[in-house]
Structure 1
Amino acid sequence: MSIISLSSGVQNNLSIMPRWPATQVLIDSLAWQKLQAVQASLPGHLGLILTRAYEPRVSELGRARTAFRRAGICLFGLLYRHRKEEIQDIFGSNGHDLDGTHIDVSFSINGQRVRLLPLSVFTPMSWQARRIKKFDEELSMVLAALLAQGFQLHRNATESLQIHCDLKPVL
């Protein structure tokens, strides 16, 4: 496994937009190759956006993410008492602290970024359903292309709309 560092911008027709407060995305080289293949398989009006991959736990960014998670868990628990069983799936590190094969992506349509979760993980389920319906065709194409390249989507509905996916290990 080798990790490569990608700065904001467009590289090999794929947009890199690190999620704040990160300034770069650290990704496994095979996962990066697979994402490039995903982008190449998509119609020209759809663009893939890489937002997050490996974030070492022992770093300023890792400590910041831990603090954000703690605050998020408290707020989510207050707002969505009926969804407490989802907290670990939504606020866990989901492998981002292990290696660069656990990634979050987004997509754009004709250069305009699609925000499936406009309020991040705090987006109400009814809003999520409307966004899925509005962008169903494009979302289906992106997810199918990711699956075809060996990525596995997160089991949680909200995390899967954040398009968190893991590159399945090659056996």
Structure 2
Amino acid sequence: MLIDALALEKLRAVQSKLPAGLGLILTRGYEAKSSNLGLARRQLRAAGIMLFKLFYPQRRNELLEIFGSNGHDVDGNHVDVSISLNGRRVELLPLSVFTPEAWQQRRVRKSAGAVELVQAALKDAGFRIHRNPTESLQIHCDLIPSETK
């Protein structure tokens, strides 16, 4: 996984400001379209779109936001992070993007303090959290270099 040096520096700075027991887990960075991983993601994305349409026909307007590359194929400023709390990963989307919205809401309520702290720290460091609710729970964020401090 590749990540821009400034983005990594900012993530480290965010981590250093979080309370003890609360951590970041980098789960996705830059993925070249031409790589084997990029090819596999495109194939899985096509299958995922078909299944998502089947399970969530009312959410078709979210397909591009959820299944698009969201900049991961552009550069290392587009990252996904997870949260660990006291050494355990906080599973906000146990079924990935197929996690029902009611489950998402319940899990967010359970870990609201940790999620809010992490997202606020990321924003303060110059990251923009994805506007789609599901993507924001994958904590997809983009470093906006012009907004960094």
TM-score by length of 2: 0.97
Out of 67, 73, 93, which is 1:97 matched to? Answer: 73
> What is the alpha-carbon distance in structure 2 between the residues aligned to residue 134 and residue 115 of structure 1?
11
Secondary structure of 2:30 counterpart:
coil
Unmatched segments (≥5 aa) in structure 1: 1-24
CA deviations over 1:34-79 (Å, ceiling 9, x no partner): 0000000000110110010100001101100100100000000000
> What is the alpha-carbon distance in structure 1 between the residues aligned to residue 36 and residue 114 of structure 2?
36
> What is the alpha-carbon distance in structure 1 between the residues aligned to residue 70 and residue 145 of structure 2?
15
> What is the alpha-carbon distance in structure 1 between the residues aligned to residue 24 and residue 138 of structure 2?
13
Q: Measure how far apart 1:170 and its partner are.
A: 1.8
Select the structure that is richer in strand: 1
Secondary structure of 1:27 counterpart:
coil
Q: Aligned residue for 1:8?
A: none
Counterpart residue identity of residue 36, structure 1: R
The percent identity for this pair of structures is 61
Secondary structure of 1:144 counterpart:
helix
Runs of 4+ in 1 over 3 A off after TM superposition: none
Out of 83, 94, 98, which is 1:122 matched to? Answer: 98
Unmatched segments (≥5 aa) in structure 2: none
TM-score by length of 1: 0.85
Residue correspondences, number: 147
Q: CA RMSD in A?
A: 0.7
